[in-house]
Amino acid sequence: MFEFDQYLGFLSFLTILTIGFWLMIFLLTFVIPYWLVGALIEYLKYGRNKETIEKKK
């Protein structure tokens, strides 16, 4: 069957795989949409302020 070293290696492989899977899910469902929505809001704010800044000049 498995020796103890192989068992620890298999457990560490599964741990790293699971952490990577949940990190990818977290990034795709929360971080990237949050970043894109924030960038879009900032772009829209800058677009509105751009007109007022140009009028002041």
Encode pLDDT of 23-32 as tens digits.
Answer: 999 999 999 9
Band the pLDDT of 54: cuts 50, 70, 90: confident
pTM (predicted TM-score):
0.65
Looking at residue 24, its amino acid is: M
CB 40 within 8 A of CB 48: no
Round to whole Å and give the CA distance between 23 and 17. Answer: 10
Looking at residue 49, its amino acid is: N
* HSE-up (13 A, CA, CB side) for residue 50: 6
